[in-house]
Chains A and B, each alone.
Chain A
């Protein structure tokens, strides 16, 4: 019976990690539903970006208040993980505060003291975050796409963080041996008096309950990630690594079209010739994107990484002037549709059975797509290198090249370019007239 807690702990740990791994595999499978593109260039530049943007949070501090608060929670999260390591070792081996037997008392005290201070700072930051969302009601948290689950999700995360931090402090406050050491109990010494008068056994019981709830809570939170915008704490790293390096104004080149154009421009080409090379044989099934499978895997990774912070949307000129477009919604829609496709595949033993729905139309409307000015404000604003514009452009390409569904004014413009070499109906021969007009 003496080993029961350890056995129980190992079972809980394995279950927690096992379920997480299952979901991560599903996540990877879903992302790979996207078109394969090779991203193996500029490795050092990519690493630098990941280090600066994801690890160093350089784009978070563009908005100093949320940037600073986010940094506290982020640093707290990273550093308190050292404490989780101790908990796991204690849990598996049935030890108690293994750190104390490995580290000098002063070092251990310093570490735990730091964690306690961070825990309080995280509580403060989380409280302000909660106020911003629920009392101050910042505009960017109130958009149409931020009702229901996205709103609850954000609050649930804050509540979980409060619970975890409080459990950590309680655990320390009720550990009489630790309090007697009087090293590192910077915060918990003030909580300890709350438990005065309780018997040694009760105190120990509370300590154990807090300890267990803390680690179970962490495992639960780990598994909550997959269902939540909080996935960004993991995906921000690969996402910033694979993020766009080209100048923002450079839209990708469609190679298939290039081959077609070359063929058309080549006077010696025989338009009726049977396809010869591999390039000719590889005719794409469609231009642009109407569903998630037409997007590439980086775009799908983008969708899973999105934190729904809305910095993109609040910078978007179309959104600022009341138009329906919200770059955040584009990312959320892509993720929702991808999840739906993933569930469809799970339900149908590994193959996707058409469900009569697609990303375009059922999730993202034409009106949203045509409101975009391609100004790149959303791309610039994203703290984790997401590119909503690339999805918008791929879907516009589908609308125009597959469905000829451009707004009529744009058809006129394109007709003019085709016929006159200018978007307006002027004769190309008049192109130099300005030089001799007074």
Chain B
């Protein structure tokens, strides 16, 4: 992934009088977290290759307010939402794609009540659409025959009923999709949602991400695929905790596609 990536901003396109097809909402994790930045770049690499006209807000983007709302701070959430909506509406944004299910859920479901209505897609849905339209093609290459299990992010799956798009993409890699004991609508949380990412977990027998990692290890995967930067972190930690990092990789769907040999 050493190829340089092109990342236009809304501000620069706006100055040229251009409107991109879609706004890529990067999210806080995607912007600042070292692991999640790789997902961001992998996704941009795909967008570049597919010649999708897109832009990011860059320094004009701010937290959607999801962790604030889930922590109970409705006021802070709505302040964030109001600011973001002002920016988005200012650029007349119609369509948004994001690699973070939390941003996806908030932008899609909670912003309309506050004056921000957009067509919002999770990157797995967007990639599936690109694939269906023939704008990207991919074959398994290095993933051919690999055992891949998909960890459903709560905010993509149960919260918004998106279960098939990520799975379709994995199947397209000629990989063997194996399901964990808890999957789809009965998927187990990674432990990070509801602002848990930012605090110590309450006392218990074990951490949620360890339980989930154990479920994943049970199906003996080569790769645990994720569709959320927070899930990615939690599962990566879990795999490290179980000392399996040499045999099991944790990868976002965007990374799988960007790394497929013939992509």
B71 and chain A: residue at smallest CB distance: A410
Task: Identify the closest chain A residue to B7 (Cβ).
Answer: A435
* A347 CB-CB contact with B under 8 Å: no
Question: Do A321 and B158 touch (CB < 8 A)?
Answer: no
Convert A399-419 into 0s and 1s, putting 1 for each residue whose CB lies closer than 8 angstroms to a CB of B: 111000011011011100110
CB-CB under 8 A from B206, the residues of chain A are 321-322
Cα–Cα distance between A428 and B26 once the two chains are bound (Å): 13
> Is the pair B198, A376 in contact by a Cβ cutoff of 8 Å?
no
CB of B58 closer than 8 Å to a CB of A: yes
Task: Tell me if A380 and B37 are in contact (CB < 8 A).
Answer: no
A422–B32 contact, CB under 8 A?
A: yes
Surface stretch bound by A, among B88-96, B143-151, B172-180, B184-192: B184-192
Q: How far is the CA of A257 from the CA of B73 in the complex (A)?
A: 10
Partner of B62, one of A376, A381, A396, A428: A428
CA distance A413 to B202 in the complex (A): 17
- Among the stretches B74-82, B126-134, B245-253, the one at the interface with A is B74-82
For A370, give the chain B residue with the smallest CB separation: B202
Q: Which of B82, B161, B187, B211 contacts A321 (CB 8 A)?
A: B211
Closest CB-CB distance, A402 to chain B, in whole Å? 10
Separation of A262 and B85 alpha carbons in the complex (Å): 12
Per-position binary interface string of chain A over residues 227-255, scored 1 when its CB falls under 8 Å from any chain B CB and 0 otherwise: 00000000000000000001111110110
Give the CA-CA distance A435 to B199 in the complex, in Å.
29
Contact between B202 and A376, CB atoms less than 8 A apart: no
A249 & B159 in contact (Cβ 8 Å cutoff): yes
Check if B22 is an interface residue, CB within 8 A of chain A: no
Judge if B9 is at the interface, Cβ distance under 8 Å. Answer: yes
Tell me whether B31 and A414 are in contact (CB under 8 A). no
* Contact status B28-A423, CB under 8 Å: yes
Report A5 CB to chain B, min CB distance, Å.
Answer: 54
A contact residues, total (Cβ < 8 Å): 70
Question: Which candidate, B13-21, B105-113, B163-171, B254-262, is the interface stretch facing chain A?
Answer: B105-113
Within the assembled complex, what's the spacing in Å between the Cα atoms of A375 and B193? 7
A81 is an interface residue with CB less than 8 A from chain B: no
Residues of A within 8 A of B113 (CB): 253, 258
Contact with A along B100-118 (1 / 0, CB 8 A): 0000010011100110000
A286 at the interface (CB under 8 A from B): no
Pairwise interchain contact A265-B75, C-beta atoms closer than 8 A: no
A376 touching B74 by the CB < 8 A rule?
Answer: no
Let me know if B110 and A253 touch, CB within 8 A.
yes
**Hey, which chain B residues are within 8 Å of A428, CB to CB?**
59, 62
Residues of chain A within 8 A (CB-CB) of B32 are 422, 424, 426, 430-431
23 sampled A-B residue pairs with Cβ under 8 A: A247-B105, A248-B160, A249-B105, A249-B109, A317-B212, A322-B206, A372-B194, A376-B158, A380-B158, A380-B186, A393-B72, A396-B71, A397-B74, A414-B76, A417-B63, A417-B80, A421-B28, A422-B32, A428-B62, A429-B59, A432-B9, A434-B37, A434-B41
User: Which residues does B use to contact A, with CB under 8 Å?
Assistant: 2, 5, 7, 9, 26, 28, 30-33, 37, 40-41, 44, 56, 58-59, 61-63, 65, 67-76, 78-80, 82, 86, 105, 108-110, 113-114, 154-155, 158-161, 185-189, 191-208, 210-212
